[in-house]
Structure formats: C-alpha cells, structure tokens
Structure 1
Amino acid sequence: MATYEIFAQPELRRYRSNVFTKATLLMLVIFVLTFIPPLFVVYRSYGFWLKEAYYREWPDVTFKREMIVILELQDPGEYVTYSTYQKYNKLQEDRLRVPVIKAREVDINGDGRYDKLLLDIEMPLQDSENVIGVKLLTVYYYRLKKFSSFFMESLGYIEHFSPQAGAKLEIFGDIQLRQKEPLGHKGVDKRYNETLINTTSSFVETYELSTIFSRYLERNVTTQIGDQYKVWMSGRAQGKPFVITATVNYSEQVILYTPGFWYLIKWGWVQYVSVLVLFVFAFERIKVFIFQNQLVLTTVVSPYDQKKLG
C-alpha cells in the first residue's frame, strides 16, 4: 500500500562539550565573527551614524517694516533713494525721495501665521528723471520652532536693471532659507537675533549695501528672495511716480539639522540589523555543517537519549 507524509516534526540534537575545548573556542570565534563584522561593514559604508538630516517646516516670518530702496537713474552715477532709517535719509540730502508705501501681510489659510507679503512703493520723480535700475532691501524677523527654537533678523534683496527707462517693476518670489551648517535638534538658538543695520550710526558706510551684505554673509544661516519673476514696464507718464510692487511668499522650507541621540540610535540599529541578519544566517549554516560532521569533538545528545536521561 502506498504511504504519504501526514506530519513532520524537527528533531532537536544537542551538542555538549566542556568549557576548555576546541568546540567552545569555535563557538566564541563564530559569535565574534557574527556580531562584530556587521558593525564595521555598516560603519565603512558611511551610513551608520546619520550626522545630518532634513525636515520640513513652515517658518514664522514677519516683515519688520524696514527697508532701503534705491532707484538708479539714466544719467551716470545718479540715483534717488529712501529708507526707513532716519540717519540714512539725512545723509542723502537732495537724492532723498519720500514714497508712498503700502505693506500688508496675508494669512491665507487662517492658521495664525502669515503666508505672504504684499508690498507697494510709489516713488515720486521729476519728469526729467528716468529709472533704469532698482535695488530693494527688506528686513524680516524669521523664526523656526519645530525642533530647535531658532530666531533671527534676516534680509531679502531684489535687484533689476534694464536698458530702457521704466515706469513700474513687479516682483514675485519666495523668501528662502540658506544654510552653511545644520541647526540643532533642540534648545533655543538666538545667535543671529541681532540688528543687522546700526540705525544710530551717522556714517555713510554703515548703510552701503556692500557693508550690509559683507556682515550678513558672515552668518551660517541667512535668507534670500529666490525664484524671482520680474515684470519691467516702461512708459512713465509725466507727473507719475515710479511704482514697485512685490509679492513675497513665506513658503515651506527644507531645514538641515543635526539629529539627536535617540534618532541616531534608531537609524544605526536599523542599518546594523539589516547586515547582521545575513551574517547570522551564514554562520548558522556553518555551525550546522561543523557539528553534524563532527569537525570538532562534542557529545551528541538526541531526543531519545534525553528521554532516557530524564
């Protein structure tokens, strides 16, 4: 009569030995070779310790109502200007023009955080003054809160030149974070929470853009107005001001930061275990081969012998 397998059960065999034997030494070597090499493999692959990581956050940005605007005129070396700094305005004398400024920050989704700045500047000009270039520096208060609480005063800069005299410049852009080093994962970071322009100074050099940018770029974290789209319109009518309209979006940012201890452990453990599994599988097969073929001397105890001993 034909038969078939109805049930299967593995047989457990125990290999016993004294402490000071080749079998014990072999097991110690296999243990070391199973757990230590994966550590070196992962470490040498430069993926074990995650030194930097990224996260996304909507920054809390506020326009400080501070600016410097310079209009370059068609005559060489001539310009008109205005700023919200009283000392700067006194230094400019005949080149000073007092514009009409309208600034409004909008919270589109009602989450209590501003999403964009709408800025409108109407600079009065004489009919003989033709504008061929615009420089606009704006000042913001910039905050991050998701991991470390980061605070700073930051800048946004817009510049445009045209060979044709203009009547209006429209700008659309996003305020973007720039990092030379990662931020921390916790704590309060106020190292750049300081005034960038010394408003009490009466020296022209203090308010020059080159001086401001030179000091600003010494920081490891700054902002800029990126993804700029500009529309230059010509044909200014007599008696009309030169108009600048800017729409600056406070968009979500990708932040570089240094992970904390537990995040490092979690990441390192995943990398280590993924390699360890392969070593465990390989050395389990090696141990079965060695002890089944008695390449080292041990005492084999089968399930039948265990019942007799019991």
Structure 2
Amino acid sequence: MAIYEVFSHPSLIRYRTSIFTKATLFLLIVLVLTYISPLLVAYRSHGFWLKINTYEEQPNVRFQYQVLMIAATSTSGDFVAWSTFDNFNDLQGDHLRVPLVTALEEDINQDGKMDLLNFRLELPLQSSEHVYSVQLLLTFSYQLFRMSTFIMQSMAYVHFSSPISGAQLSVIGDLKLHQREPLKHRGLDTRYNLSVVNDDSPFASSFDLADITASYQDRNVTTILANQYAVWTPVRAANVPFIIKAVVKYPVEIITYRPGFWELIKTAWIQYVSILLIFLWVFEKIKIFVFENKVLTTIMIPPFKQHQS
C-alpha cells in the first residue's frame, strides 16, 4: 500500500534564558551587527547619499534682440562696429555702421518652446573696406522650470578671423548650458537674471568685449555656443554688404541638480534594504547553529511542551 504525505508544518523550538547571560549578550551583538553593518557597507561603497542627480529638459530660450558686432576692416586695427545699445553707438564716431538685421526664431516641433534662431546681419561697407575678422555677441533669456525655476540672461559669442578678406561668415552652433555647480531641486533662482551688457553705462569700458566675457565667465552657470561650425566666404564684390548668418539651436539639456531630502531617502533605503536582507539571512543561520548546537546555555522548550503549557 502506497504511503503519501497528507500534511506538514514546521516545528517551533523556543530557547529561553535570563537577562544577564551570555546568550542575551550574543543576541544584542547579533542585532547590532545585523542592522548597523549594512548601513556601513552601503555608505563605504560610495553613492549611498545621492549628492548630485540629473534630469532632461528643453529650456525656454528667447532671443533678446540685443546685438554687439565689431568687424576688423584691416590688419592694422581699423574696424567698424554697431550694436543695439545707444551708448555704445555714440562712442564709435566714424566707426559706426548701421546694418540691416533680421532675426527669426522657430518652434519646429510645435511644443510651445523655440528651437532655434535664424540671425542675419548685412553690414554696409565702402568699396575700399574689407572684413578680416568678426566678433558678434547675441543675448538670450534662458529659463528652466521642471525642478527649480531658473531664470538668467545669457549670451552667445562668435569670433572668427582670416588672413583673407571675406564676403560672408556663416555660423551654426548649439546654445549649450554650462554648469560649474548643480542647480537647486526646487525654488526660484534669479541670481543671474542680470543684463550681460551694462547698456546704461556711458563708459567705453562697459562695452569692452574682454571685460564683458570676463564678467560673464565669473558666473557659475552660463551658456556657450558649442558644436560651432563657421564657414568663411572670401572675395566680396564691390558695393555688396558683408553678411553674417548665424543659426543658433536650443537643444534639450541634461541638467545637474542637488536632490532634496525625500529623493535622498528614496535612493538610500533601497541600497540599505538590499544589503540588509543578506545580513538577516547570514545571522539567522548563525543563531540557528549556536542554539541548536548548545554553544550557549539556554533552556530549550520543544514543540510538544509548548502545546501542553
């Protein structure tokens, strides 16, 4: 006649002792090692506290229609210049040349945020003048909203020179965010919402490109014209303006920020619990070995005596 198992259940064996015994001390040591050791292991393995994190966002960028342009017309220091700043233009005297400027921003994917700027400047020149180098500064309003609300005034700077006089400079690049420090995870940050150029100043030093770029570079968060490609077209025909064409794209950015408290906890507890499970299993086996083999003196209560009591 075949025999088969109809039911099974585990037997519970209890081990008892008084408070001031080696068994009690052993359990306290095991308890501390079980729950403190995973914390030490997670912390010492680095990355337990998430100090910096990143997220992706399409910035809200708008051209401010502020332009400063200087073009060298000889290798001996002659130049022509123009800007949208009246005080700068007043300082130029005979070097001032008023160009024809057109600017158009496009929202290619129709998401409500501009994706690029098409900029064109036609600089009138005399027949005896030839352009050898160009410096161009464009300003933008740059805004982020997904985590903290970050608003700043930024710029893109273009510089190109050639030993051969040109008829046209064509530039294309990405207006990329450059961070020396992470942004906050929430709140309003407007510390750099200041004009790149102090256009109210009557002093020439306020419009010096070296001073402007140096002051701008002191910021911890800036934009730069990255992935820049420039094409210089030589030989300008007589009575034809020198043309500057620029396409500035506003790409999706990877933003670095400092996580908040709850995000730190969310990341830290997963690491802690995953290591804790291993320690729980290991020390459970150690306790079973110690008490089953009577390494420490305890009173063992078998299952049947538990039922009787």
Q: Which residue of 2 aligns with 1:13?
A: 13
Letter in 2 for 1:241: P
For residues 188-199 of structure 1, what are the structure 2 equivalents within 5 Å?
Answer: 188-199=188-199
Shift in Å, 1:3: 5.8
Shift in Å, 1:45: 2.0
Deviations 1:77-124 (A, max 9, x none): 111111000010111111111100000111112221111111011011
Tell me, in whole angstroms, the C-alpha distance in 2 between the residues paired with 1:154 and 1:105: 16
Q: Which residue of 2 aligns with 1:236?
A: 236
Q: Which residue of 1 aligns with 2:273?
A: 273
Task: List gaps (5 residues or longer) in structure 2.
Answer: none
For residues 82-161 of structure 1, what are the structure 2 equivalents within 5 Å?
Answer: 82-161=82-161
Worse-superposed segment, 236-245 or 298-307: 298-307
Mapped contact 1:181–1:220 kept (Cα < 8 A): yes
Tell me, in whole angstroms, the C-alpha distance in 2 between the residues paired with 1:173 and 1:21: 75
- Please provide the CA RMSD for this pair: 1.5
SS of corresponding position for 1:134: strand
Tell me, in whole angstroms, the C-alpha distance in 2 between the residues paired with 1:215 and 1:41: 45
Mapped contact 2:72–2:132 kept (Cα < 8 A): yes
Tell me, in whole angstroms, the C-alpha distance in 2 between the residues paired with 1:67 and 1:284: 72
For residues 220-235 of structure 1, what are the structure 2 equivalents within 5 Å?
Answer: 220-235=220-235
Deviations 1:123-171 (A, max 9, x none): 1111221112111100001111111111111111111112221111111
Deviations 1:178-210 (A, max 9, x none): 111111011101111112222121211110111
Q: Which residue of 2 aligns with 1:201?
A: 201
Mapped contact 1:148–1:183 kept (Cα < 8 A): yes
Q: Which residue of 1 aligns with 2:78?
A: 78
For residues 209-220 of structure 1, what are the structure 2 equivalents within 5 Å?
Answer: 209-220=209-220
Tell me, in whole angstroms, the C-alpha distance in 1 between the residues paired with 2:165 and 2:196: 32
Task: List gaps (5 residues or longer) in structure 1.
Answer: none
Tell me, in whole angstroms, the C-alpha distance in 2 between the residues paired with 1:229 and 1:195: 27
Worse-superposed segment, 252-261 or 156-165: 156-165
SS of corresponding position for 1:48: coil
After TM superposition, the score normalised by the length of structure 1 is: 0.96
Tell me, in whole angstroms, the C-alpha distance in 2 between the residues paired with 1:26 and 1:292: 14
SS of corresponding position for 1:108: coil
SS of corresponding position for 2:191: strand
Q: Which residue of 2 aligns with 1:254?
A: 254
Q: Which residue of 2 aligns with 1:290?
A: 290
Deviations 1:211-241 (A, max 9, x none): 1112111211111111111111112111101
Shift in Å, 1:9: 3.5
SS of corresponding position for 2:139: strand
Mapped contact 1:47–1:271 kept (Cα < 8 A): no
Letter in 1 for 2:293: N
Letter in 2 for 1:201: S
Mapped contact 1:175–1:226 kept (Cα < 8 A): yes
Q: In the comparison of the two structures, how many residue pairs are matched?
A: 309
Mapped contact 2:75–2:132 kept (Cα < 8 A): no
SS of corresponding position for 2:112: coil
Q: Which residue of 1 aligns with 2:175?
A: 175
Mapped contact 2:23–2:298 kept (Cα < 8 A): yes
Letter in 2 for 1:178: H
After TM superposition, the score normalised by the length of structure 2 is: 0.96
Q: Which residue of 2 aligns with 1:39?
A: 39
Q: Which residue of 2 aligns with 1:22?
A: 22
Tell me, in whole angstroms, the C-alpha distance in 1 between the residues paired with 2:121 and 2:287: 80
SS of corresponding position for 1:296: coil
Identity %: 46
Letter in 1 for 2:296: V
Shift in Å, 1:7: 5.8
Tell me, in whole angstroms, the C-alpha distance in 2 between the residues paired with 1:163 and 1:6: 97
